[in-house]
């Protein structure tokens, strides 16, 4: 999460001790919301689809559909891993290894 605000407490006494600060934070959050301010999020990296994976998509259309159904983070993890191989045969082997997992809608570490 890039823009979450949270305060963690372990005891009721911590809340009581920090009551004024908590109220200030809540008021600040209300003002930010009223002003319509937005947090600029970091751009996630998009990786190119390796030609070996595109060939597999052409061979198995359900694989492309399943891949597109994955979350962007899972897609990027696969693309980063597949693209990291220097040799085509290694990329093909990696794609073969994870084809069923993609078809099952799972990420690399699920």
What is the model's pTM?
A: 0.60
CB 102 within 8 A of CB 66: yes
First vs last C-alpha separation in the chain: 20
Residue with tokens 């696969």: 78
Measured CA to CA, the distance from residue 37 to residue 3 in angstroms comes to 12
- The alpha carbon dihedral of 97, 54, 79, 62 has a sign of negative
Q: Tens of pLDDT along 67-88? A: 999 998 899 999 999 999 999 9
Residue pLDDT, tens place only, 9-68: 999 999 999 999 999 999 999 999 999 988 887 766 678 899 999 999 999 999 999 999
């Amino acid at each position: 999460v890039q823009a979450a605000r949270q305060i963690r407490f372990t005891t009721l006494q911590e809340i009581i001790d920090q009551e004024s600060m908590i109220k200030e934070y809540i008021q600040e959050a209300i003002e930010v919301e009223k002003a319509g301010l937005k947090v600029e999020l970091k751009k996630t990296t998009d990786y190119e689809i390796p030609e070996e994976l595109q060939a597999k998509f052409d061979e198995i259309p359900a694989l492309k559909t399943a891949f597109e159904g994955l979350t962007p983070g899972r897609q990027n993890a696969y693309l980063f891993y597949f693209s990291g191989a220097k040799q085509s045969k290694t990329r093909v082997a990696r794609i073969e290894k994870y084809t069923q997992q993609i078809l099952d809608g799972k990420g690399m570490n699920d």
